[in-house]
Amino acid sequence: MATGKNIVIFGATGRTGLATLAQALEEGYTVTVLVRDRARLPAQHQPARVVLGDARDPAAVSEAVRGQDAVIILLGTRNDLSPTTVMSEGTKNIVTAMKTHGVRKVVACLSAFLLWDLQKVPPRLVPVTEDHIRMHRILQDSGLDCVYVMPPHIADDQPLTGDYTVTVGASGGSRVISTHDLGHFLLRCLHTSCYDGKSVYVSRDYSKD
């Protein structure tokens, strides 16, 4: 588990990234982010350190990882569903940087589709899922202390509850998790080793709220 409060978030300007960043700052973490555009960071949630660059740039990634106690990976392609290697290339650079700087703990957000038979994944989502599979393999082969978080549909319009179902090694419960609850779980994983090396599905039925 992470023993300190210095963390780097890759993908901090995405939907889940912004929710995770806000909670990390509120919890007293010293947060570094790697972003292409500093203007995408909200004024009310400014990290301690901003490294400008792209996850596909090994030098920028190495600079962001230097001095950290743990890493959170939230790389994505936003609404671009075309074939890509952006996430796996970035993950490879992150793993290399972690080994260089002696950082062992990484919590990575992948996709619940990795818990499915690939043949059952909707065709339009297969290319992105294939890169998530490549990410997963890179992390599995890394020898690092990695948590593979595999959420279902991530909802912007649901609240932070801190009360959700955690299923290891399979999908279960509902098929939705809020960005805020997902961020909450990602940070929770930094405090425990019980999910290291495991694929974890997090969900909640918000209709009961």
Compute how many other C-beta atoms are within 10 angstroms of the C-beta atom of residue 141: 9
Given 110, 189, 190, 200, the catalytic residue: 189
Q: Is 194 a catalytic residue?
A: no
- Give the whole-angstrom CA distance, residue 110 versus residue 208: 27
Given 9, 19, 41, 109, the catalytic residue: 109
What is the helix (H) or strand (E) element at residue 174, kind and residue range?
none
- Give the whole-angstrom CA distance, residue 80 versus residue 84: 9
Q: Is 189 a catalytic residue?
A: yes
Instruction: Return the CA Rg of the chain.
Output: 16
Question: Do 142 and 116 contact (CB within 8 A), yes or no?
Answer: no
Question: Do 166 and 115 contact (CB within 8 A), yes or no?
Answer: no
For 105-137, the three-class secondary structure string (H helix, E strand, C coil) is EEEEECCHHHHCCHHHCCHHHHHHHHHHHHHHH
Compute φ and ψ for 2, nearest 5 degrees.
Answer: -70, 135
Active site residues: 109, 189
